[in-house]
Copies of this chain bind each other. A is one copy, B any other.
Amino acid sequence: MIVHHFYSGGKDSSLAAWILTRMGYDVELVTVNFGILDSWKYARETAERLGFEHRVLYLPTEILEKAAEMAVKDGHPNNAIQFIHEKALEALASLPEVERISDGTRRDDRVPFLDLPKARSLEDRFNVAYIRPLLGLGYKTIRELTEKLFMVEIRESEELEKSDYEVELRYFLRKEGIDPLTIFPKQHYQSRVMGWRE
């Protein structure tokens, strides 16, 4: 039973991957990339440290361009991140070998997040199961499990070597002459998992 699980190298997607393994699934990690930066390599490195299979899913640059337009128009990144995640889920779910897809979205997340009708629509349109191991967990539970399991590095978004959508979105905005700090929150700490705790 293989699950293709979206992976950024952060603690949420790492915890979700661990739970899937504990549930008996064979987990293959998938990192989204637009071919602009090789930022997927940080997720690959963490995946190897944790002992997971890992692949890169390349999405068309047009999706990143459209997301950047949305972020500039809105003045914040929420709709852009949501848009990229929905496109990524659809791209992964449409691959012929994929029967189960998963991500690390949480109960308390605002974006990216699929509400019930969208989650069901994704499953029905692509005939896949969509599994979100963290959806029923609050921040206390996620904190106690990640602290038990992982060595985590926490830095501000701008500094961290990460593999999530934000990295290429920030780079793309900067290339277009737009300061990402006018769009993303100033103090935005993010985490990267460095390995198992024991």
Q: Kindly state the separation between the CA atoms of A24 and B147 in the bound complex, as whole angstroms.
A: 13
Point out the residue from B107, B119, B123, B145 that lies within 8 Å of A119, measured CB to CB: B107
Copies of the protein in its oligomer = 2
The answer to the question of A137 belonging to the interface, with a C-beta cut-off of 8 Å to chain B, is: yes
Q: Kindly state the separation between the CA atoms of A49 and B140 in the bound complex, as whole angstroms.
A: 31
The answer to whether A24 touches B148 (Cβ under 8 A) is: yes
- Which size bracket describes the interface of A in this complex? 20 to 34
The answer to the question of A4 belonging to the interface, with a C-beta cut-off of 8 Å to chain B, is: no
The answer to whether A100 touches B136 (Cβ under 8 A) is: no
A125–chain B nearest beta-carbon distance, Å:
13
- Ordered by A's residue number, 12 sampled pairs between the chains whose C-beta atoms are within 8 Å are A19-B19, A19-B23, A24-B145, A24-B148, A107-B116, A108-B120, A129-B141, A131-B138, A132-B135, A132-B137, A135-B135, A136-B136
